[in-house]
Amino acid sequence: VVLCSDGVWSAVADEELAAIVSDAQDLRAACSRLLALANDRGGRDNATVLLARLETVTE
C-alpha cells in the first residue's frame, strides 16, 4: 500500500515510485528514498510517505 502527499506525487513519476516500492526489501529505506527524491527535485509542498506491505496469513 502506498500513501503519499502531493509533495511526493508531484515530484516523483508513477513509474519511478512503482519501481522503488516494488524493489524494496526495507520499506523504511524506500520511504527515505522517495522523500529524498522529492526534496532533491525541489518539492515545494509537504512530502509525506506511508508504505505498508500486506501479507496473506494462512491457518
Number of separate domains in the chain:
1
Confidence at residue 42, expressed as pLDDT on a 0 to 100 scale = 85
Confidence at residue 55, expressed as pLDDT on a 0 to 100 scale = 87
Confidence at residue 50, expressed as pLDDT on a 0 to 100 scale = 96
pTM of the model: 0.84
Residue 58 is assigned to a structural domain of this protein:
no
- Give the pLDDT confidence of 9-55 residue by residue, as tens digits: 999 999 999 999 998 999 999 999 999 999 999 877 789 999 999 88
User: How buried is 47 (Cβ within 10 angstroms: 0-12 exposed, 13-18 middle, 19+ buried)?
Assistant: buried
Residue 7 is assigned to a structural domain of this protein:
yes
Measured in degrees and rounded to the nearest 5, phi and psi for residue 19 equal -65, -45
Residue 56 is assigned to a structural domain of this protein:
no
Residue 27 is assigned to a structural domain of this protein:
yes
Q: What's the domain range around 24?
A: 2-51
Residue 24 is assigned to a structural domain of this protein:
yes
